Structure 1
Amino acid sequence: MFLNKKDHGFEKMGINTQALAILVKKPANSFLALKAIKNSNGIAVAVSDNQIMLAEKLLAKTEGLFAEPASASTIAAISNLLNEGIIDKSDKVVCLITASGLKAPYVLEAIIRRGKKISFRKSLGVKLQILKLLDMGVSYGYELWKALGRDISIQAVYQHLNELEEKELVKSDWKERRKYYQLTEKGKHVLNLLKTLILLF
């Protein structure tokens, strides 16, 4: 929902987006939010679904993160702020990525509709690779990191493993002072579905 200033008040404008987590039909505290932005000398920017999708692909490619659209909108906003000269490339900016793309299956559907097989694979990122590796057998963090080609930090690998475990796609067990991971039945089912989608599209 956008609020455009009109005469003595604000005009409500409807909008549709894939970033459902930030799509609020009737914001209860919209005016308080606008007041906070003004008082803090802040700024609000709008981003398109296409920009959000590009941001998701960028996160998957460069950081190995599959983000939920609302989270990826912060990355999309950076491009707009740079283009408008509001921030500079030398500035340090923190973007909060609070939700996994696994919470938004409709994102996969949108990617499929675009018919881009390579982009689809990139969007799934490191998590899909980890699931594939664990499908070959039980493994531990350092071993998975080496198998992934060490393209990302080992800390990032453990972060992905923790998120997959939270979704009950993998489970872990300590053996001889080392934490081993393996696919759950749910994880195997999800992996098979993803493999089928990749073959189809």
Structure 2
Amino acid sequence: MSHDKLPASAGWYPDPNGGQRFWDGSSWLDLPDPDSSGEPERRFPKKQILVIVLVLLVAAICGAVGWKIDHDAEIAAQVAAAEEAAQREAERLEAERKAQELEDETERRARAATVTNIETSIEEMANEHVNKGMFDGPILSVTCSPVNGGSTDDLTETTTVFECFVGTEDVGGGRMRGYKYHATMNWTSGEFTYGFGAP
């Protein structure tokens, strides 16, 4: 009896990769695995998967960077617009302040000129009183000053009462003798009244 090994009979045998191979009795044939669908299994190589993941990652980063740039530009534009609006408002307020200062200064000058008019009217009345013999002249000076803390610079005052001094005799040392008059100015109407005697 011979102990020689007989070659394996032709047929399908398990493949170490988990599939099957065909043995024709003398060699392995490259035939499709009968258990498969007949189509070769398609697998993406790891390199291709890595490239796809990297492309998607780069696209996501570019999208995020683009959004960040757009967002920052929008915020910067909003900040610039707010700063410009604040600057315009500050300029408007400054222009209003200057216009109000000019208006107030004009009003103060007008009030000072009105005091001069009051003093002129008081001087005319005092000269009439001298002519009528109420007291001796001549009229040397007339000065009118607000009383009770009044001021022609206080533009909130609508009425100012003045005490006016009519100087008729210089007694030296910058002092004068004379008589007191009074006047009341209504700044709203622009009219004043005046008369002899202290207010």
When normalised by structure 2's length, the TM-score is 0.20
Q: Which structure shows the bigger proportion of residues in strand conformation?
A: 2
Q: Which structure shows the bigger proportion of residues in helix conformation?
A: 1
When normalised by structure 1's length, the TM-score is 0.20
